[in-house]
């Protein structure tokens, strides 16, 4: 199967195709990065980052990563100066209540008359090293492409705050934003959730937790190369064991930081792929990158959602690596991926 095919399994026209194509396929070949992606990776190599498993979490948070390499490459191509970010109408920091006190959220509002739909965005970083600021290009691009207010939420990081601290922060932020969307220029009936990597894990878990607690669900979930399991033995983990910028040793390190005990490794709110049931969850858009140890588990989660009766739009990006989504200024696949996500959100917002 062509892994770039867009799938809307809930549509009647796909009944025949569904009989023929029973599942999405994982991209497990070693793969080569596309030239624009390779340019980012070469720049990252030039920054000489130290292996994260050799560092404390505090040290890891200051170590250069792929987003730093992306900025360096932008500067190099722009005569040494970082170009202005993609323009939106307004960016402001606010706070929302959280289980351990107020949490910062950053609100990106595009041009247009409100109330606008809302996408609550959860950043990545292995639950350990990420921040709101690091994903700024993703928020701006999606706010404009989907014509929605994007609200990036902060959460407590591991290992200072183990699972489920971050999840409870994101859950509380989502529920507050949904109920009070008007405060942000948004429509409370049109609130989705989006997450990258560990943020994709948290976004998927918020959907599960909201369903199990009989709370309001997002109208759509977007999972961008999500972590969906705590087992690191899939075909893509083997094929991309030492991939850049994310490899298996880093993932083992991140998982060790976030769990309290071995029992957490099996929690359905962390290893979401092993949740007893995914029925009744919101329609989903799932994106994977070919050169990524998380590829197979992203595909597996999309397949489980589909098998559970959840409409799924899935797309894999050949020649792309983990973290490519925010690199639209350099990597063409990123622009295409943002538009793919935006199309799914706009369709959900229009219902």
Catalytic residue numbers read 197, 292, 322
Q: Which residue has the tokens 């490459």?
A: 73
Q: Which of 203, 233, 231 is nearest to 217 (CA)?
A: 203
The Cα 9–Cα 14 span in angstroms is 6
Compute the distance between CA of residue 348 and CA of residue 191 in angstroms, rounded to an integer: 9
Residue 238 backbone dihedrals phi, psi, to 5 degrees: -75, -45
Separation of first and last alpha carbons in the chain: 30
DSSP string, 135-194: GHHHHHHHHHHHTSEEEEE--PPTTTS-TTHHHHHHHHHHHHHHHTGGGGTEEEEEEEEE
Contact 205, 269 (CB under 8 A): yes
- Spatial separation of the C-alpha atoms in residues 127 and 88, rounded to whole Å: 28
The Cα–Cα gap between 93 and 107 comes to 6
DSSP state of 275: -
Long-range pairs for 68-74: beta carbons < 8 A, 24 or more residues apart: 68/44, 69/40, 69/41, 69/43, 69/44, 69/245, 70/40, 70/43, 70/326, 70/327, 70/329, 70/330, 72/43, 72/46, 72/47, 73/39, 73/40, 73/43, 73/330, 74/329, 74/330
Q: Do the beta carbons of residue 330 and residue 74 sit within 8 Å?
A: yes
Q: DSSP class of residue 228?
A: -
Residue 195 near residue 224, CB atoms below 8 Å: yes
């Amino acid at each position: 199967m062509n892994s770039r095919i867009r799938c809307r399994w809930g549509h009647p026209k796909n009944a025949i195709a569904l009989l023929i194509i029973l599942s999405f396929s994982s991209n497990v070949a070693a793969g080569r990065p596309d030239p624009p992606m390779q340019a980012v990776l070469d720049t990252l190599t030039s920054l000489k980052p130290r292996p994260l498993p050799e560092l404390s979490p505090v040290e890891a948070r200051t170590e250069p990563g792929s987003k730093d390499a992306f900025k360096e490459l932008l500067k190099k191509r722009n005569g040494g100066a970082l170009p202005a970010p993609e323009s939106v109408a307004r960016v402001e920091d606010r706070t929302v209540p959280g289980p351990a006190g107020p949490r910062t959220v950053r609100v990106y509002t595009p041009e247009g008359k409100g109330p606008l739909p809302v996408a609550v965005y959860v950043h990545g970083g292995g639950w350990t090293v990420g921040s709101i600021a690091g994903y700024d290009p993703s928020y701006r691009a999606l706010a404009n492409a989907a014509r929605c207010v994007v609200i990036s939420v902060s959460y407590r990081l591991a290992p200072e705050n183990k699972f489920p601290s971050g999840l409870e922060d994101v859950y509380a932020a989502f529920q507050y934003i949904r109920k009070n969307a008007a405060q942000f220029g948004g429509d409370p009936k049109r609130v989705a959730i989006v997450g990258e990597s560990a943020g994709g894990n948290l976004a998927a878990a918020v959907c599960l937790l909201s369903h199990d607690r009989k709370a309001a669900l997002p109208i759509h979930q977007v999972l961008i190369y999500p972590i969906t399991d705590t087992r690191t033995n899939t075909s893509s983990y083997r094929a991309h064991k030492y991939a850049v910028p994310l490899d298996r040793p880093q993932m083992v390190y991140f998982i060790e930081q976030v769990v309290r005990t071995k029992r957490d490794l099996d929690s359905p709110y962390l290893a979401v792929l092993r949740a007893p049931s995914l029925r009744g969850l919101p329609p989903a858009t799932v994106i994977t990158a070919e050169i990524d140890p998380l590829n197979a588990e992203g595909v597996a989660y999309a397949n489980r959602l589909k098998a559970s009766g959840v409409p799924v739009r899935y797309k894999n990006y050949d020649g792309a690596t983990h973290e490519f989504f925010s690199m639209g200024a350099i990597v063409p696949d990123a622009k295409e991926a943002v538009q793919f996500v935006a199309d799914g959100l706009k369709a959900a917002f229009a219902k």
